[in-house]
Every structure is written in structure tokens, then in C-alpha cells.
Chains A and B, each alone.
Chain A
Amino acid sequence: NAGVTQTPKFQVLKTGQSMTLQCAQDMNHNSMYWYRQDPGMGLRLIYYSASEGTTDKGEVPNGYNVSRLNKREFSLRLESAAPSQTSVYFCASSLYLLNTEAFFGQGTRLTVV
């Protein structure tokens, strides 16, 4: 049982390049999330998908897009990377949107130079 799997684990981009972070969960969860973690700021929600077919903005959505490809997969795309997007990105999933614990992937460390 893999849980939440994120790829890649590490990535270095040049300013202006694009990339897609992939996330898949095998727990049959309905809701999925993308967070970024920056020192001293905790985790901040970028986008979430309450259920298959829906996506919504979180606290810090600017510069990102997401796709809920199916119930298992939720991808995060950076169209034109900026140094301010240097961060550690976590994908997570939960059975429902509210009142249930989330399970996290191991993270993607992204550096934009």
C-alpha cells in the first residue's frame, strides 16, 4: 500500500520554465490537496479538490494550476516558474474534505534559479 506518491522528489528549474508535479493516491480518497511549505510559514494550501471533477483555490493559488485527472491523480502545474516558487511541495489526500485526517506524500523540493 503506497499511500500518496509524488514525483519528482527534487527538481531545479530556470526562471520561466514550466513543469508539472504529479501526485497519486491508492486509498480511494475523495479529496486531494497541494500545499507548499516554507521556513517559518508552516504549510499553505495552494489548491484542493474536494471530489473528482472539482478544484478550488486555496490560500496561495497565484502562479499555479491544477488538474484532477481522475479519482487517484491530482497534478500541480507551474506555467512560468519564478524564484518565489522555490519551496517544498506536498500533495495530500483525505477520505472527505472535512473532519478527516490527511495523508501526505514525501514532498517535492523545487528550486527555481
Chain B
Amino acid sequence: AQSVAQPEDQVNVAEGNPLTVKCTYSVSGNPYLFWYVQYPNRGLQFLLKYITGDNLVKGSYGFEAEFNKSQTSFHLKKPSALVSDSALYFCAVDGGSQGNLIFGKGTKLSVKP
């Protein structure tokens, strides 16, 4: 079965510093991977996805993610964090026969001024 894991419940970063939110996956077949962001009391918003091609995927709000097949990882990155990036971030994998997206448990990102 497809699954994703987000090993960190929370990531704390100072504004202006680079940030990384980690995600590892387990799939049978080709992985189709996604990142979503959830701001307080809102639904999830799509950030970016990896289907095929370049291992570095660029997305919304200056975020990017690096696909690493050998490490089965899809870490979310941003060169310079903003306080407004503080939110809950979810990694997801295409569920195949399980139907649409399988989500990780989420990582809370806190960016301090």
C-alpha cells in the first residue's frame, strides 16, 4: 500500500533562514507526490507536485521540493523563510487503487521573527 511519513511534528525556523520539511514515501510503482499547506481554520492548498522529470520541483510561494528516489524522500524546501509561512504542511502520495491522495500526519512549521 502507498504511504508517506513526515518524521517531524514541528519545525522551528528563524525568519530569513532556509527551511526544510521532511517527507519519505513508500509506493509500489512510480511515485506521484504532492505538498499541501493548511493555514489556521482553512482547507488545504496545493503547493507543488512531482509526477516525472526534474528532481527539483518548483511550486507556489517560493517553495520547492527535491525528489530523491534512492532515499525515497520528497523534502519541501525554501531558501528564506517568512513569518507568513507558518502553517501546517502535508505531504501526500497518489493512492492508486486506494483512491486519490494518501496524506502524512502533517508538520507544523513555525517561523519566528
Asked whether A45 is an interface residue with its Cβ less than 8 Å from the other chain, the reply is yes
Asked whether B101 is an interface residue with its Cβ less than 8 Å from the other chain, the reply is yes
Known: A48-B99, A90-B43. A101 touches B106 (CB 8 A): no
Known: A42-B104, A99-B51. A50 touches B99 (CB 8 A): yes
Q: Using C-beta atoms within 8 Å of the partner chain, give the interface range for chain A.
A: 20 to 34
Known: A98-B32, A101-B49. A106 touches B43 (CB 8 A): yes
B46 to chain A: which residues have CB within 8 Å? 101-103
Partner of B100 from the list A41, A45, A90, A107 (CB cut-off 8 Å) is: A45
Q: Using C-beta atoms within 8 Å of the partner chain, give the interface range for chain B.
A: 20 to 34
Asked whether B25 is an interface residue with its Cβ less than 8 Å from the other chain, the reply is no
Asked whether A31 is an interface residue with its Cβ less than 8 Å from the other chain, the reply is yes
A106 to chain B: which residues have CB within 8 Å? 41-43
Partner of B105 from the list A41, A59, A101 (CB cut-off 8 Å) is: A41
Known: A101-B46, A104-B44. A40 touches B100 (CB 8 A): no
CB distance from A60 to the nearest CB of B (A): 12
Asked whether B103 is an interface residue with its Cβ less than 8 Å from the other chain, the reply is yes
Q: In the bound complex, do residue B32 and residue A90 qualify as a contact, i.e. CB atoms below 8 Å apart?
A: no
Within 8 A of A (CB), among B43-80: 43-46, 49, 51
Within 8 A of B (CB), among A9-53: 31, 33, 40-45, 48, 50
B102 to chain A: which residues have CB within 8 Å? 45
> Please, how many angstroms separate the alpha-carbon atoms of A80 and B103 in the complex?
27
Known: A42-B90, A42-B105, A42-B106. A97 touches B44 (CB 8 A): no
B34 to chain A: which residues have CB within 8 Å? 101
> Please, how many angstroms separate the alpha-carbon atoms of A31 and B94 in the complex?
14
Which A residues have a C-beta under 8 Å from some C-beta of B? 4, 31, 33, 40-45, 48, 50, 56, 58-59, 90, 92, 94, 97-99, 101-107
* 11 interchain pairs, CB-CB under 8 A: A40-B9, A40-B105, A42-B106, A44-B103, A58-B98, A92-B44, A92-B100, A97-B100, A98-B100, A99-B32, A107-B41
> When A and B form their complex, which 7 residue pairs have the shortest distance between CB atoms, in order from nearest?
A104-B43, A42-B105, A101-B46, A43-B103, A42-B103, A48-B99, A104-B44
